[in-house]
């Protein structure tokens, strides 16, 4: 069932409350909460039609993206450790899980909706996999019990990434999602429980 409320805290706020330090380091990457100073580099690939073809929304101007991302408090920039180049972004939106009314307090902020975008020139290097894996581990460390995401069924790069991350296909829908150019399309939904994440290497 789809959650019908959203939690009061953002993922960035949760990180701050728990004293998490950034950047978060992986083998090749640095993850940091998005700030207005990242806007110019992020806009470099978010303004491209090939980036937003399958995305939930495109932005008309960089300021729109900046304002939404800052208020959402969910986005992290992904930079290469070797040279600081921004390769993309990932996000975790904190949500309340669906619950019966009497149990709702215990379901607040217990799941996160994940997202990912790599600049075209930085795809197919395994950066998305590495960055989202780190984000999932961070979310699990902070007590998030379930992570989920969805995409158009034709967005092969996205669902292959989810399968590579050990996420499970839980929904498969027929012409349920309306694409701005292509009309009604099939969709897929994936999820993983924090307890199912493989142990860290």
**What's the closest the beta carbon of residue 51 comes to ligand COA, in angstroms?**
5
**What's the closest the beta carbon of residue 137 comes to ligand COA, in angstroms?**
16
Angle at 46 between CA 40 and CA 49, to 5 degrees: 140
State residue 32 phi and psi, 5-degree precision.
Answer: -140, 145
Task: Specify the residue, 144 or 161, whose C-beta has the smaller distance to ligand COA.
Answer: 161
| Matching residue, tokens 């581990």 | 137
**What's the closest the beta carbon of residue 157 comes to ligand COA, in angstroms?**
3
Task: Specify the residue, 56 or 101, whose C-beta has the smaller distance to ligand COA.
Answer: 56
- Candidate list 43, 123, 185, 193; residue touching ligand COA; CB under 6 A: 123
C-alpha dihedral (39, 45, 48, 51), degrees to nearest 10: -120
Instruction: State yes or no: residue 127 binds ligand COA (CB under 6 A).
Output: yes
Instruction: State yes or no: residue 43 binds ligand COA (CB under 6 A).
Output: no
Task: Specify the residue, 19 or 49, whose C-beta has the smaller distance to ligand COA.
Answer: 49
**What's the closest the beta carbon of residue 18 comes to ligand COA, in angstroms?**
27
- Residues in the interface with ligand COA (CB under 6 A) total 20
Task: Specify the residue, 90 or 107, whose C-beta has the smaller distance to ligand COA.
Answer: 90
**What's the closest the beta carbon of residue 195 comes to ligand COA, in angstroms?**
23
Report yes or no: 116 and 151 within 8 Å, Cβ to Cβ: no
Task: Specify the residue, 108 or 158, whose C-beta has the smaller distance to ligand COA.
Answer: 158
Give the strand order in the sheet containing 183-193.
24-25, 29-33, 75-80, 86-95, 111-118, 146-152, 183-193, 168-179
Which of 161, 160, 153 is CA-nearest to residue 179? 153
Render 97-156 in DSSP notation, one character per residue. Answer: PP--GGGGGGGTT-EEEEEEEE-GGGTTSSHHHHHHHHHHHHHHHTT--EEEEEEETT-H
Judged by CB under 6 A, the chain residues 133 through 172 that form the site for ligand COA are 151, 155, 157-158, 160-161, 164
CA separation for the pair 90, 131 (Å, rounded): 7
Residue numbers at the binding site for ligand COA (CB under 6 A): 51, 54-55, 116-118, 123-129, 151, 155, 157-158, 160-161, 164
């Amino acid at each position: 069932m789809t959650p019908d409320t959203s939690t009061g805290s953002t993922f960035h706020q949760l990180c701050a409350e728990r004293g998490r330090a950034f950047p978060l380091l992986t083998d090749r990457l640095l993850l940091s909460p998005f700030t207005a100073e990242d806007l110019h580099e992020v806009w470099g690939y978010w303004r491209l039609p090939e980036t937003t073809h399958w995305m939930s929304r495109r932005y008309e101007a960089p300021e729109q993206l900046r304002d939404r991302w800052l208020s959402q408090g969910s986005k992290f920039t992904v930079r290469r450790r070797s040279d600081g180049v921004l390769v993309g972004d990932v996000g975790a939106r904190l949500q309340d899980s669906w619950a019966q009314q009497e149990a709702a307090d215990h379901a607040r902020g217990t799941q996160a909706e994940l997202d990912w975008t790599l600049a075209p020139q930085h795809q197919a290097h395994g950066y998305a996999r590495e960055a989202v894996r780190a984000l999932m581990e961070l979310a699990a460390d902070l007590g998030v019990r379930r992570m989920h995401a969805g995409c158009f069924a034709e967005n092969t790069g996205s669902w292959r990434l989810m399968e590579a991350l050990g996420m499970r296909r839980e929904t498969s829908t027929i012409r349920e999602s309306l694409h701005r150019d292509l009309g009604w399309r099939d969709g897929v939904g994936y999820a993983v429980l924090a307890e199912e994440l493989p142990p860290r290497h």
